[in-house]
Structure 1
Amino acid sequence: MKTSLRSAWVALAGLSAVFLFEMLDNSILNVALPTIGRELHASTTALQWVTGAYSVVFGGLMLVFGAVADRAGRRRVMLVGLTLLGLASLATASVTTAEQLIAVRAVMGVAAAMTTPGSIALAFRLFDDDTLRVRAMTLISTVGLVGLAVGPTAGGFVLAVAPWQALLLVNVPIAALAIAGIRSGIDADDPADLHRDPIDIPGAVLGTATIVLALVAPTLFVEEGTHSWAPWTATGAAVVAAVLFVVRERSARHPLLDLRLVARPLVSAGLAYKAATGLAVAGMGYLVTLQFQLDWGWPPALAAAGMLPQVVVLVFAGPFVNRFVERVGLDRAAWLSSAAVVAGLAVYALLGRFNYVWVALSLSLVAAAIRVVGAVAGVNVLRGLPKNRTSIGAALVDTASEVTSGAGIAIAGTMLAALFTGSIATTTWTTHQHTEFHQAVTLAGLLLTVLAAALVTWAMLRTRNATPTTTEPTEAVTSHA
């Protein structure tokens, strides 16, 4: 175990590179989509899947690879995933069609699913002290958020002097840095911290299907509207798959995901806090983007500048996060920061349409909360799990955020589709359309606020008198009687 961040700097550099890849990847590529469309003669649907294939595969396979890592070794699975990432990124240089690029992006999604859960689990394993764990995760997330903030700008500069393939080839040195840091700075997994239960194949299939359908359905609602059969079919299929997954996991001798672990107070509360922030970030971000450019008529550059309060808080709030957590403790930090998410949503829903100052305040509140929840929720979930289940726990954290982000966009998009008449993408709106947009934003914002508040309240009640359980014997939870 490490006793300071300085003593673990090699490992932290490698883990930070993993998170940098996750945050940088889609943000830097989005800038190049028009160029990719022209050069590869890609349709609008194909361009959507250039980013969508990565997100769906990534979200759908996290639980599976989290379970695999708890059995085969977190360090080993991460190194394999990083190698796959480097090879897939190199393959970008030979891409000549949109279909080939989508396939490459899907493989990169597999690599991300192998590496991301392990980054949290391995950072947690480096230290015994919870304060150091929070500091480490804050450092790692700061590196990633810097990548998220500078990605679009950096991508624009790169496109001015290099082909679009360079934006994905940058993953090669990032993967190499991560491999070097993890191999040198993190010891091989202790067999005592792993388990050998057989992998629940039916549970893996049902779990993956549930998450994939849950991620695809919101996109279909936004793109095709509430009157189309496709989004409702996907939603219904996701519900059916989820029910079958729960039935399977409750009856399997060696479940992919032991639901008794998820029901532990620290685990379920941490996931609820992450879910609340996922709803807020995606739902409000979607609405704010439309508001700036379509309702207020701002050009893209000004709209990007309008998001600066969020970017500044995300990038520079790291040192304050550590002090805040040390002062109030992990549990209070989790619910206080999550309450800030609810406050930010409420401010935007009720006042955001009147003045940019209220939008900036909302963005800042939610961003500050994300910085705390991002570090604290993961630590709390892993504190509540046995040592041989930390990878599946980390995968749950990321999955909760991915799925609720999709739900946030679905809520916002569905409300707009229901209340806004005509095409939302037209350059000139009537007075009536502006009013309809304001009504949709208010109702969507209030619905997101209520849902986030319910999640935060439930999590607060769950963590009353809760204690960490990572030192409990694991035999009791490795199989059903």
Structure 2
Amino acid sequence: MSSDQTTVIAAHSPRSLREAWVALAGLSAVFLFEMLDNSILNVALPTIGRELHASTTALQWVTGAYAVVFGGLMLAFGAIADRFGRRRIMLIGLVLLGVASLATAFVSNVEQLIAVRVAMGVAAAMTTPGSLALSFRLFEGDGLRVRATTLISTVGLVGLAVGPTAGGFVLAIAPWQVLLLVNVPVAVLAIIGVRLGIASDVPAELHRDPIDIAGALLGTATIVLALVAPTLFVNEGMESWAPWATTAAALVGAILFFLRERSARYPLLDPKLVAHPLVSSGLAFKAAAGLATAGLGYLVTLQLQLDWGWTPALAAIGMLPQVVVLVAGGALIGPFVRRVGLGRAAWMSAASVVAGLAVYAVLGRFGYVAVAVALVLVAAGMRVVGVVAGVNVLRGLPKNRTTIGAALIDTASEVTTGAGIAVTGTILAVLFTGPIATPNWSGHQTAEFHQAVTVAGLTLTAFAAALVAYGIIRTRTQTDPPADTGGSDEASLARVGVGDDRSVGEQ
């Protein structure tokens, strides 16, 4: 892009969050849908099962179909958006979301509901990466980018926190379909905000390379297999051939995808871009956080209800330290990043997540205080890394690859979350004898569970720590800020501590 074009775009960029409130309201609504959807749906699964006469497997696919389609298509739609317009793809996806959510009112069997969830997964793949990409490109300075991303994520996390409780109250007075119909006004709000608050894409920030269809098919197949494998390990067990075959197919697909992208003239995802220090380190930190968070959430839920015998309501109260930090922690992100810089903030927050998991693995069996400390450490780290690692990844990419970069961030989180649950579930299946949901465990079973928690927790800690170490090593190879840092907004950069040699040079 020429310097004249850059000057014109910067002149029209909002100089504060207040100036961009319409756009931010729309983008926040997009992220609210992503966070609210599955959390509020899980509350209704027992009711759905009874009213639609659905089997346990069918109920799993009500949520699983959405996750698999969402995770599998993000890279493909990210590439499409970078070619044909991020705003355009976002608006098409939001229309699909509204229509699919409205179709819930006419569902009469579980197969129809699964079809609706598939359509909503497609819509999420079209919209969710765009919320980060569009908020990043809305501003020219990293200070405003961090603050905007923090605002958007805070709205989503509030939805995640209040979703289950609100869903329970709604079910007491209304049909379960209402819980999915709530996505309709959310989609309408998002359409209005994006349509009125965000200008059409600048042609110079898009590209017209031919779509790598073979790469898109290989990438989608690999991610879908990687997301299905953890479920198979948990449901079928290690003795079954299905999860191992699926995992092997995912590995083969990943190798073929990498070879394809290395040799393609116009790759879907250029390996050279992924190798950029800011990109590779940011993805490593996000992957570490996803791995640790998924494992901790799974283990703590089992411990509170099955090991300690807490009721679901009491267990929900026990998770409050995590909820409070996730929701209220947004106010601390700015000061923290301002003090240590984007580079340090990314690896320190990822390390906090890993430390929280380690605390739980070693001390969690001895009482709730250790569990609460672990939840706080993980939530605090996840709150920061979710913002700064994502911003760093996009800073390391060209303007015309922003959306696929955002899709890569979300894909890394989705895949590692599934991997964390798979590793935890597999270790529990190996070390715990008998059905884990059996009430009144024997002393031997309790000891087995404690051993499984320690082994699973330390295993995930080791993997996550390795990812953090890799990310730190990659950040140390970044000696200069990338060209697209929004340097024209010096005041904004100064507000988050990325306008001086100390913070930028260390990235």
- Shorter-normalised TM range: over 0.9
d(CA) in 1 for partners of 2:338 and 2:139? 16
Q: Does residue 274 in structure 1 map to residue 314 in structure 2?
A: no
Report deviation, 1:322.
1.1
Matches within 5 A, 1:139-158: 139-158=151-170
Q: Does residue 469 in structure 1 map to residue 482 in structure 2?
A: yes
Aligned to 1:350: 362
d(CA) in 2 for partners of 1:326 and 1:130? 11
Return the letter of the residue paired with 1:405.
T
Matches within 5 A, 1:247-266: 247-266=259-278
SS of the residue aligned with 1:238?
helix
Matches within 5 A, 1:37-52: 37-52=49-64
Do the aligned partners of 1:266 and 1:468 also contact (CA within 8 Å) in 2? no
d(CA) in 2 for partners of 1:253 and 1:411? 37
Matches within 5 A, 1:209-358: 209-358=221-370
RMSD: 0.9
Aligned to 1:129: 141
- 1:7 corresponds, among 15, 19, 24, to 19
d(CA) in 2 for partners of 1:31 and 1:350? 31
d(CA) in 1 for partners of 2:152 and 2:437? 38
Report deviation, 1:468.
3.7
Return the letter of the residue paired with 2:90.
M
Aligned to 1:179: 191
SS of the residue aligned with 2:366?
coil
d(CA) in 1 for partners of 2:312 and 2:88? 43
Do the aligned partners of 1:85 and 1:112 also contact (CA within 8 Å) in 2? yes
Structure 2: runs of 5 or more not aligned: 1-12, 486-507
Report deviation, 1:469.
2.8
Return the letter of the residue paired with 1:369.
G
Aligned to 2:8: none
SS of the residue aligned with 1:353?
helix
Do the aligned partners of 2:105 and 2:177 also contact (CA within 8 Å) in 1? yes
Partner deviation per Cα, 1:162-197 (whole Å, 9 max, x = no partner): 111100100000000000001111110000000001
- 1:78 corresponds, among 90, 100, 109, to 90
Aligned to 2:217: 205
Q: Does residue 96 in structure 1 map to residue 108 in structure 2?
A: yes
d(CA) in 2 for partners of 1:421 and 1:158? 39
Identity %: 76
Q: Does residue 61 in structure 1 map to residue 68 in structure 2?
A: no
Do the aligned partners of 2:286 and 2:412 also contact (CA within 8 Å) in 1? yes
Do the aligned partners of 2:70 and 2:124 also contact (CA within 8 Å) in 1? yes
Report deviation, 1:338.
1.1
Partner deviation per Cα, 1:151-172 (whole Å, 9 max, x = no partner): 0000011111111110010000
SS of the residue aligned with 1:380?
helix
Do the aligned partners of 1:382 and 1:470 also contact (CA within 8 Å) in 2? no
Aligned to 1:437: 449
Q: Does residue 418 in structure 1 map to residue 416 in structure 2?
A: no
Aligned to 2:5: none
d(CA) in 1 for partners of 2:315 and 2:407? 33
Return the letter of the residue paired with 2:482.
T
Do the aligned partners of 2:277 and 2:477 also contact (CA within 8 Å) in 1? no
SS of the residue aligned with 1:60?
helix
Do the aligned partners of 1:60 and 1:211 also contact (CA within 8 Å) in 2? yes
Give the number of aligned pairs. 472
Report deviation, 1:37.
0.5
SS of the residue aligned with 1:429?
coil
Return the letter of the residue paired with 1:278.
G
Report deviation, 1:372.
0.4
SS of the residue aligned with 1:359?
helix
Matches within 5 A, 1:391-410: 391-410=403-422
Report deviation, 1:470.
4.7
d(CA) in 2 for partners of 1:239 and 1:51? 24
SS of the residue aligned with 1:198?
coil
Partner deviation per Cα, 1:397-431 (whole Å, 9 max, x = no partner): 00000000000001100110111111111011111
Partner deviation per Cα, 1:232-252 (whole Å, 9 max, x = no partner): 111011011111111111111
SS of the residue aligned with 1:427?
coil
Task: Give the alignment's TM-score, normalised by structure 2.
Answer: 0.92
Report deviation, 1:273.
0.4
Task: Give the alignment's TM-score, normalised by structure 1.
Answer: 0.97
d(CA) in 2 for partners of 1:327 and 1:192? 35
Return the letter of the residue paired with 1:159.
L
d(CA) in 1 for partners of 2:464 and 2:255? 23
Return the letter of the residue paired with 2:258.
V
- 1:456 corresponds, among 450, 465, 468, to 468
d(CA) in 2 for partners of 1:375 and 1:200? 30
d(CA) in 2 for partners of 1:98 and 1:217? 23
Return the letter of the residue paired with 1:110.
V
Report deviation, 1:321.
0.9
Report deviation, 1:465.
4.6
Q: Does residue 116 in structure 1 map to residue 128 in structure 2?
A: yes
Report deviation, 1:126.
1.1
4+ aligned runs moved over 3 Å, structure 1:
none
Structure 1: runs of 5 or more not aligned: 473-481
Q: Does residue 383 in structure 1 map to residue 389 in structure 2?
A: no
